[in-house]
Amino acid sequence: TKAFKLAVIPGDGIGKEVIAAGMKVLTYLEEQSDGKFKFESDYFNWGSDYYLEHGSMIPKNGVETLKDYDAIYFGAVGDPRVPDHVSLWGLRIAICQGLDQWANIRPVEFLPGINHRIAHPDPESLNWILVRENSEGEYSGIGGRNFSARPDEREVAIQSSIFTEHGCERIIRFAFDLARTRKRKKVTSVTKSNAQQYGMVLWDEVFQRVSKEYPDVETDQWLVDAMAAQFVLNPDDLEVVVASNLFADILSDLGSALAGSLGIASSANLQIDKRFPSMFESVHGSAPDIAGKGVANPIGTIASAALMLEDLGLQEEANKVHEAIRRTTAQGIITRDIGGTSNTEEITNAIIKNLTL
């Protein structure tokens, strides 16, 4: 029996509900594997409750502790009682940056049987994947408050972005390598290099240079504002979309909304050199507006578990999970956010049932 050590961090709000759903699916797969593999899961109660009790989102050695695991399965973070920048930096970004998970992939799946919000004759033929730079850019955390540079002494805040040639090159190369494994073999790079004349011009130059090594891959370059419109107006033009930390974050919410809902979008924060574990999480946040009601859509988190299975070498099981999700939505067993009436538990049970078919 191959044992995988999982660090499970449900976090806040619906994070707890969707992780419970995902773990139910993983436990079922383990039972069905006839001893081929098992998950040794440790739960970590890190999040906003932990913060209110201890004054930090995770213990001092928290990120260090995670290095012992094969993968991290993450719910969501965010609580009205804690400032969002404290919870996000203290937990999710602390882990992504602390474990050098510099590549964040976010597939946008157009599932059957749900309300897509896109004008396209055959949305299910679309095959988008966003590649997010996950270590620097606008999320470098460099800056400060209370600069008294203005004569009227009103506050000035500075928030700097960092773009390194190394950071740009590795994520762009990753996008090209990913494109080679896909149907269309196309990479679209997104910046705002007309207005952001240092970091994003560097990004564009690196993109141009690296693209020469991939003559078999089609390329395209867009400014982010025009790209947002392109998502809606020319969805056929996109396959692999690579962008900075902030821009890819925004575009992935747009992509998942066009596919139906934030609730279906999955994501993997990949530690490419495998020195540390990767982290798998849905794209959405803790959704305080629906937390505790049992109605959260678990598909994003269950699809993230499939990305985790793939990363652990369980490709067959990963494919099964993806297929079970598609069967379930095709049967109309879906949550409110995508036009249905089922709750979290009903969908999870239906996905598990569809795993056996």
Query: Which residues within the stretch 84-113 sit at the binding site for ligand NAD (CB under 6 A)?
Result: 84, 88, 92
**From CA 278, how far away is CA 292, in angstroms rounded?**
28
**From CA 297, how far away is CA 133, in angstroms rounded?**
26
SS3 185: coil
Nearer to Mn ion, 132 or 192 (CB): 132
Nearer to ligand NAD, 167 or 340 (CB): 340
205 token code pair: 């130059």
Site string for ligand NAD, 177-216 (x = CB under 6 A): ----------------------------------------
Least distance (Å) from Mn ion to the CB of residue 250?
7
Query: Which residues within the stretch 286-345 sit at the binding site for ligand NAD (CB under 6 A)?
Result: 286-290, 296-297, 300, 335, 337
262 binds, among Mn ion, ligand NAD, none (CB under 5 to 8 A by kind): ligand NAD
Q: Does 138 bind ligand NAD (CB under 6 A)?
A: no
The set of residues, in sequence order, having a beta carbon less than 8 Å from that of 83 and lying 6+ positions away, is none
Q: Does 76 bind ligand NAD (CB under 6 A)?
A: yes
Query: Which residues within the stretch 229-268 sit at the binding site for Mn ion (CB under 5 A)?
Result: 249
Q: Does 78 bind ligand NAD (CB under 6 A)?
A: yes
**From CA 339, how far away is CA 89, in angstroms rounded?**
33
**From CA 333, how far away is CA 322, in angstroms rounded?**
15
Assess contact for 11 and 68: CB atoms under 8 A: no
Q: Does 138 bind Mn ion (CB under 5 A)?
A: no
Q: Does 260 bind ligand NAD (CB under 6 A)?
A: no
287 binds, among Mn ion, ligand NAD, none (CB under 5 to 8 A by kind): ligand NAD
Assess contact for 271 and 101: CB atoms under 8 A: yes
249 binds, among Mn ion, ligand NAD, none (CB under 5 to 8 A by kind): Mn ion
286 binds, among ligand NAD, Mn ion, none (CB under 5 to 8 A by kind): ligand NAD
**From CA 280, how far away is CA 59, in angstroms rounded?**
21
Q: Does 109 bind Mn ion (CB under 5 A)?
A: no
Q: Does 9 bind ligand NAD (CB under 6 A)?
A: no
Q: Does 77 bind ligand NAD (CB under 6 A)?
A: yes
Size of the site for Mn ion (CB under 5 A): 1
Query: Measured at CB, which residue is nearest to Mn ion?
Result: 249
The set of residues, in sequence order, having a beta carbon less than 8 Å from that of 274 and lying 6+ positions away, is none
The set of residues, in sequence order, having a beta carbon less than 8 Å from that of 336 and lying 6+ positions away, is 295
Nearer to ligand NAD, 63 or 201 (CB): 63
Segment lying near ligand NAD (by CB under 6 A), choices 59-67, 121-129, 171-179, 279-287: 279-287
Assess contact for 240 and 129: CB atoms under 8 A: yes
Assess contact for 344 and 298: CB atoms under 8 A: yes
DSSP 221-257: EEEHHHHHHHHHH-GGG-SEEEE-HHHHHHHHHHHHH
- Taking 3-state DSSP, the helix, strand and coil percentages for the chain, each rounded to the nearest 5, stand at 45, 20, 35
**In whole angstroms, what separates CA 327 from the centre of its chain?**
23
Helix (H) or strand (E) holding 64: helix 62-66
Q: Does 263 bind ligand NAD (CB under 6 A)?
A: yes
Residue ranges that bind ligand NAD, judged by CB under 6 A? 14, 18, 76-78, 84, 88, 92, 262-263, 281, 284-290, 296-297, 300, 335, 337
Residue ranges that bind Mn ion, judged by CB under 5 A? 249
